[in-house]
Amino acid sequence: WPNGVSQNNRESVGSAAWFSVILFLLSVSLFSQSPIKIIYPREGQLLSAVDSSFIFGQVLISHKKLFINGVETRTSNDGAFIQFLPLAATQKDSSFNFRIEIQTRDSIVNFNRRVFVPIASVPLDRLEFDRRFTKPSSDVDLPIGEELEIQCRTIPGVNVVGFVMDSSGREEEILMNELRGMGMDNFGVAAFGTDHATAMPQVSGLYRGTYFLKREHSKKRIRFRVSYEGRSFEEISKGGISCGQTSVVIETTDLLNVARVAPGNSYYYFWPRDVRAFADGQTREEYRIRLNKNTSAWIPKNHVKIVSGRTVNSVVRVIRIRKEERNSLVKFTMAENLPFQISQPDDRTLVMKIFGATADIDWVRRENENDEIESARWSQLEDGIVQCTLRLSNSVWGYEAHYEGDNLVWKVRHKPKSAGLKNLKVCVDPGHGKDIGSTGPRGTQERQMNVEIASRLRKLLEKEGATVVMTHADTTDGLELLERTVIANSADCDIFVSVHNNALPDGINPFNQPYGPSVIYYHSQSQKLAEAILKTLVGKTNWPNFGSMEGNISVCRNGYMPSVLVECGFIMLPEQEEKLRDKKFQEKIAEGIRDGIKNFVNNKN
């Protein structure tokens, strides 16, 4: 110990010395890991954006300034930040570096975050194809008379010809035309950006043609040939083309089976188990279902099985209507479990289309008094489609349809009689679980925020006299999306609310418009609930209104009651993430959702 230091002072000096050593070791430990935590994008990630994208995270050391790619970036008191920057990938390998510079009091810390971005064009000096755009990309089988789009991408401004080869070596030439001004798919900007033209680059060198299937044949492949400055090169499609090889009856096997209007497009048809239909085409992963002469749908092969000895048409002879406590049941007497579709032209009208059906309806029987259904009218809409239109005396509350034997039962739900939230049964779903959802710059996980807000919402609803069904109550539950609405449906809930927090897709500028709460719905009866919750939630948070929107998402479309998904705020924005972590602010959010539900039930929205 130094001379002149008393024994009493030695202990305090020693404690201070050890404290300094601990602080030094802690700072060394932080620097050995990283002086900065980058939440997004991950190292080596392939971004979906081409021209610009964001980067966010948290500086973990005391600092004066932060620069990313030379642009000064504002940080909050605890170092959280977000920045939006141009991307310029090299033509060589599509890599891009975010160059981060942290200026401390005594030094400058530098490092890179390397990501990859899509290449917007094929270099003119490369005689090659961009296989990401080749069609068909997998085997496809369609009936005679169908048109099939074929496509390839290579250097622009050249001569491209397609040839269909069969097993005998015969070839048929297909004219290929280069598309001009073909924009890249930019879903993020269309759905979340401002309503302005984007800076997304055009896809050059994209060539497209049409092959008409004229006769039955087994698999053929497309050969694409490019001629360029006296040279030529070729590419063979990964997928082959067959014609008329599929002719099977399929039956749905899952609790809920979804079908699309075209491969990879939006979900449009929603069927229960045991629905049967005729499949006349297929790709590697989907069957094409022939619903009637002019209508088809595509369903995943792992949702169906092939059955024999069954037909895919039926006569509808009788419609019976019966009122129960909260529901009206509409039963169609049939002989087969046929595909159907339900739509809502307005708040008080429901329309059922049954595909493969022929009407022989002499009787529409009302089994008991029913003041909820004003009228039920049927029609033979066209060959193979029987339509039934219900006109209700009050707004639709919800519906579902299933088969009991071969009879189709359509359950139409009516509004609860109770006023306010007392005796109302509400299903509250904390979004995510096994997956963490979005993450904030400080590392805040969305699933944790969702659980905390949902738990507060539950207590507030129960204080009002509501019965609350939670889909789960912790952050580790591995519930699938369909399981969440199954819980709500099985419990006969009156309202379903899924609690989430938002983030932006790649390429959206987080600074060019105000971001705040939004509410998503699918069915018409859920729109007013969404608008009511959004209005009160914006009032409670004092954040900008990001809007209500119709979204084709599982938890909104599969409930038998008004169902919404609430995006409380944008967890990826440092200022909103900080607020979301505050317990008092979480209570405000829960109050906003509760008040919106109450206003909806009381018709005050």
Nearest to 183 by CA among 157, 206, 201: 201
Name the strands in the sheet holding 108-116, side by side, starting at the edge strand that comes first in the sequence.
Answer: 71-72, 65-68, 95-103, 108-116
Q: Give the tens place of pLDDT for each residue, 54-98.
A: 999 999 999 999 999 999 999 999 999 999 999 887 766 788 999
Query: According to the model, what pLDDT value does residue 309 have?
Result: 77
Instruction: Compute how many other C-beta atoms are within 10 angstroms of the C-beta atom of residue 567.
Output: 24
Instruction: Answer yes or no: are the C-beta atoms of 387 and 330 closer than 8 Å.
Output: no
Across 146-155, 184-193, 494-503, the highest mean pLDDT is recorded for 494-503
Nearest to 535 by CA among 522, 520, 545: 545
Nearest to 419 by CA among 324, 490, 525, 494: 494
**Which DSSP letter does residue 185 get?**
P
Q: Give the tens place of pLDDT for each residue, 152-208.
A: 988 888 899 999 876 666 788 999 999 875 555 566 667 777 655 444 556 678 899
**Which DSSP letter does residue 432 get?**
-
Query: According to the model, what pLDDT value does residue 124 have?
Result: 53
CA distance 405 to 336: 9
Which DSSP helix (H) or strand (E) runs through 555?
Answer: helix 554-557
Query: According to the model, what pLDDT value does residue 91 have?
Result: 63
Query: According to the model, what pLDDT value does residue 597 have?
Result: 97
- HSE value, Cβ hemisphere, 13 Å, CA-based, for 205: 22
- HSE value, Cβ hemisphere, 13 Å, CA-based, for 593: 35
Say which residue, 13 or 38, is predicted with more confidence. Answer: 38
- Which runs of E-coded beta strand occur in 489-576? 495-502, 518-521, 547-550, 563-570
Nearest to 192 by CA among 457, 546, 587, 590: 546
Q: Give the tens place of pLDDT for each residue, 377-396.
A: 999 999 999 999 999 999 99
Residue 316 burial (C-beta neighbours within 10 Å; 0-12, 13-18, 19+): buried
Query: According to the model, what pLDDT value does residue 231 have?
Result: 85
Query: According to the model, what pLDDT value does residue 166 have?
Result: 66
Instruction: Answer yes or no: are the C-beta atoms of 59 and 35 closer than 8 Å.
Output: yes
Query: According to the model, what pLDDT value does residue 224 have?
Result: 94
Q: Is the pLDDT of residue 567 over 70?
A: yes
CA distance 233 to 225: 6
Q: Give the tens place of pLDDT for each residue, 204-240.
A: 788 999 999 888 888 888 999 998 888 888 999 989 9
Q: Which two tokens stand for residue 474?
A: 């912790």
Residue 74 burial (C-beta neighbours within 10 Å; 0-12, 13-18, 19+): exposed
Confidence of residue 33 (pLDDT cuts 50, 70, 90): low
CA distance 418 to 459: 20
Q: Give the tens place of pLDDT for each residue, 423-465.
A: 899 999 999 988 899 999 999 999 999 999 999 999 999 999 9
Query: According to the model, what pLDDT value does residue 126 have?
Result: 64
Q: Is the pLDDT of residue 486 over 80?
A: yes
Query: According to the model, what pLDDT value does residue 120 have?
Result: 58
If phi > 0 it is left, if psi is from -120 to 50 it is alpha, else beta; for residue 535 that is: alpha
Q: Give the tens place of pLDDT for each residue, 290-339.
A: 999 889 999 999 999 999 877 899 999 999 999 998 899 999 999 999 99
- Give 316-362 as a 3 state SS string: EEEEEEEECCCEEEEEECCCCCCCEEEEEEECCEEEEEEECEEEEEE
Instruction: Answer yes or no: are the C-beta atoms of 429 and 554 closer than 8 Å.
Output: no
Give residue 430's identity as a one-letter amino acid code. Answer: P
What integer is the mean pLDDT of 121-136? 74
Query: According to the model, what pLDDT value does residue 90 have?
Result: 72
Q: Which residue has the tokens 């189709």?
A: 408
Per DSSP, what are the bridge partners of residue 57? 38, 81
CA distance 537 to 171: 64
CA distance 377 to 390: 7
CA distance 35 to 101: 10
Q: Which residue has the tokens 């930040």?
A: 81
Say which residue, 156 or 492, is predicted with more confidence. Answer: 492
Say which residue, 528 or 157, is predicted with more confidence. Answer: 528
Averaged confidence pLDDT in the chain: 88
Query: According to the model, what pLDDT value does residue 524 have?
Result: 92
Query: According to the model, what pLDDT value does residue 267 have?
Result: 94
Q: Is the pLDDT of residue 287 over 50?
A: yes
**Which DSSP letter does residue 256 get?**
S
Instruction: Answer yes or no: are the C-beta atoms of 122 and 155 closer than 8 Å.
Output: yes
What integer is the mean pLDDT of 566-570? 98
Q: How far is CA 114 from CA 38, 42, 84, in A?
A: 12, 8, 15
Confidence of residue 5 (pLDDT cuts 50, 70, 90): very low
Q: Which two tokens stand for residue 169?
A: 């070596």
3-state secondary structure of 106: coil
Determine how β-strand 425-430 pairs with β-strand 495-502.
parallel
Say which residue, 554 or 325, is predicted with more confidence. Answer: 554
Query: According to the model, what pLDDT value does residue 9 have?
Result: 36
- HSE value, Cβ hemisphere, 13 Å, CA-based, for 419: 1
Q: Give the tens place of pLDDT for each residue, 413-422.
A: 999 987 789 9
Q: Which two tokens stand for residue 569?
A: 């705020």
Determine how β-strand 425-430 pairs with β-strand 467-470.
parallel
Opening angle at CA 558, ends 375 and 364, nearest 5: 20
Instruction: Answer yes or no: are the C-beta atoms of 464 and 420 closer than 8 Å.
Output: yes
Least confident of 116-130, 164-178, 481-495: 116-130
3-state secondary structure of 301: helix
Least confident of 22-26, 129-133, 518-522: 22-26
Q: Which two tokens stand for residue 239?
A: 């997928």
Instruction: Answer yes or no: are the C-beta atoms of 330 and 320 closer than 8 Å.
Output: yes
Give residue 339's identity as a one-letter amino acid code. Answer: P
Query: According to the model, what pLDDT value does residue 21 have?
Result: 42
Query: According to the model, what pLDDT value does residue 507 have?
Result: 86
